Amino acid sequence: MFPKNSSLLKSTALIGSDWRAAQDGATISVHNPSTCEHLGDVPKMGAIEAKEAVDAASAALPAWRKQTAKARSAILYKWYQLLLTNSEELAKIMTAEQGKPLAEARGEVAYGASFLQWFAEEAKRGGGEIIPAVKDNTQVRVTREAAGVAAMITPWNFPIAMITRKLGPALACGCTAVIKPANLTPLSALAVIELGKQAGVPDGVINIITGDSNAIGNVWCADDRVRVLSFTGSTEVGAKLAALCAPTVKKLALELGGNAPFIVFEDADLALAAKQAILSKFRNAGQTCVCANRFYVQSSVYDEFLSLFKNEIAALQVGDGFAEGTTIGPLINQAAVEKAAAHVADARAKGATVLFGGERLEGHFFQPTLLADMQEDMLPSCEETFAPIAPVYRFDSEYEAIARANATPFGLAAYFCSRDLGRVMRVSAALEAGIIGVNEGIISTEVAPFGGVKQSGLGREGAQQGMDEYSEIKYTLIGYAGSA
Ligand code: SIN
């Protein structure tokens, strides 16, 4: 149940030391996508508060970047522990406003916490290097410095993990931050920041405002004091933000859309492939950027794989995220349901066969769906579906599978199943994606770099590489030839 009396539930936003309402008192309502129940209201802030948030982050920057790495690490570690001790409350808030099954929400809290733990550790390892000099009596020193104020715009599908995956490295590097969470899921985001304050994050180091995405984004992109823009969301919006940031030449970390292929070769363990396909496709009801979006199955095993996959899909249970046994929650809103229905209708009209599901259910729910006989001109082939729909295509050769998998402007994740070592090496090298899962459908972890190629984005989150987005490299040449 939604913990409506939780002390973590906020109806105000944080700028500097103040939890505040919007200056004109405007609010945004937050609803449960499963029941449409009203959960609360958050401030509808705009350009004025966006600038005030940057003022606060800029003012806090000198002291925070001067803190020792060890001190910053200790705060991040305490915050990680607070996420774990408040896991149940956070998970319930998330299930209520985002819809994902409670077990998945608990998993996301742990996943979100893992970035704080990881970057608490990385904070202490951000040293530099001394490079052998080319001139006598000189030293070539390379150090890392905090990039400055970082602006973060985060999505509704992972309302906690996408915030900690950005804030962890930013704070570890000594940056301060301004954050705009998705208007559909602000309660989880505000709750996490409240725990950050309890962990000892100083005033102004994190500022979070809810409200008008365009007005806030425009101010942050134009403000020269903001030196990093980190965004997770669609390629369309990411490209617009990148253009807005161009005049002030900010560092950009963009985690954008995907259109992940999942290839099943004839030498795969088919039962394992079907299970991994479920994990990859149906996590968060298909609403993840790294979800398999297109399944390519080799002709010789096509029927057998489809039968195994269909049996696995039939075992999924659609329902409210709080209900026992639910594995597929609602889609986030009506527009998502319309898009799912349009993808199925287009595929059907062009000759695809619906082997399972295919229908919208009451409210924001959609049946887990298996489509066979897919062709490349059908909507799910070219667009990220973001729904529990698995379209399956037939292929004959390895060459063909790779070519079709790569025939997309996106390149976030790609998956394939094979037990042939040579094929594993060849195909993982040939697939154009930033993340490859081989016989594995879940690839996300704090220890590995997450990010895409082509129009799926710029930069990496998590892992050691996650620190790069929030730090600048400084080279200092020190001459010491003068007399003592
Ligand atoms: C996303 O869908 O944007 C993130 C998914 C993940 O971190 O696994």
Per-residue pLDDT reduced to its tens digit, 270-312? 999 999 999 999 999 999 999 999 999 999 999 999 999 999 9
Q: How far is the CA of 233 from the centre of ligand 1 (A)?
A: 10
Q: Which of 156, 158, 385 to mutate to test the pocket of ligand 1 (most atoms within 8 A of CB)?
A: 158
Atom of ligand 1 nearest to the CA of 165: 7
What is the pLDDT, as a whole number, of residue 346?
97
Contacts of residue 91, Cβ cutoff 8 Å, sequence gap at least 6 = 102, 105, 106, 108, 109
Contacts of residue 428, Cβ cutoff 8 Å, sequence gap at least 6 = 416, 436, 438
Atom of ligand 1 nearest to the CA of 232: 3
Angle separating helix axes 213-222 and 235-245, nearest 10 degrees: 40
For the cut 80, the answer to whether the pLDDT of residue 12 exceeds it is yes
What is the pLDDT, as a whole number, of residue 483?
67
Q: How far is the CA of 132 from the centre of ligand 1 (A)?
A: 41
For ligand 1, which residues put their CB under 6 angstroms from it?
157-158, 161, 232, 255, 288-290, 444, 450
Cα gap 166→108, rounded to integer Å: 15
Q: What is the pTM of this model?
A: 0.97
Q: Which of 166, 282, 444, 456 to mutate to test the pocket of ligand 1 (most atoms within 8 A of CB)?
A: 444
Ligand 1 atom 7: the closest Cα is on which residue?
Answer: 444
Average pLDDT across the chain, whole number = 97
Ligand 1 atom 8: the closest Cα is on which residue?
Answer: 444
Hey, which residues are catalytic here?
Answer: 255, 289
Alpha-carbon dihedral 404, 407, 413, 417, rounded to 10 degrees = 10
Determine if residue 40 is left, alpha or beta; phi over 0 gives left, psi from -120 to 50 gives alpha, anything else beta.
left
Amino acid 351 reads: G
As a whole number, mean pLDDT of residues 414-441 equals 98
Going by the DSSP 8-state scheme, the letter that residue 389 receives in this structure is E
Q: Which of 368, 379, 377 is nearest to 344 (CA)?
A: 379
Atom of ligand 1 nearest to the CA of 444: 8
pLDDT band at 484 (very low <50, low <70, confident <90, very high): low
The token duo for 202 is 């100083």
Cα gap 11→4, rounded to integer Å: 12
Q: How far is the CA of 371 from the centre of ligand 1 (A)?
A: 24
Atom of ligand 1 nearest to the CA of 258: 2
Q: Which of 154, 162, 443 to mutate to test the pocket of ligand 1 (most atoms within 8 A of CB)?
A: 162
pLDDT band at 126 (very low <50, low <70, confident <90, very high): confident
Ligand 1 atom 5: the closest Cα is on which residue?
Answer: 288
CA 245 to each of CA 218, 228, 229, 352: distance values in angstroms, whole numbers, following the listed order:
9, 9, 8, 42
Q: Are 177 and 152 in contact (CB under 8 A)?
A: yes
Cα gap 415→405, rounded to integer Å: 10
Q: Are 388 and 314 in contact (CB under 8 A)?
A: no
Per-residue pLDDT reduced to its tens digit, 355-412? 999 999 999 999 999 999 999 999 999 889 999 999 999 999 999 999 999 999 999 9
Per-residue pLDDT reduced to its tens digit, 165-216? 999 999 999 999 999 999 999 999 999 999 999 999 999 999 999 999 999 9
Per-residue pLDDT reduced to its tens digit, 334-344? 999 999 999 99
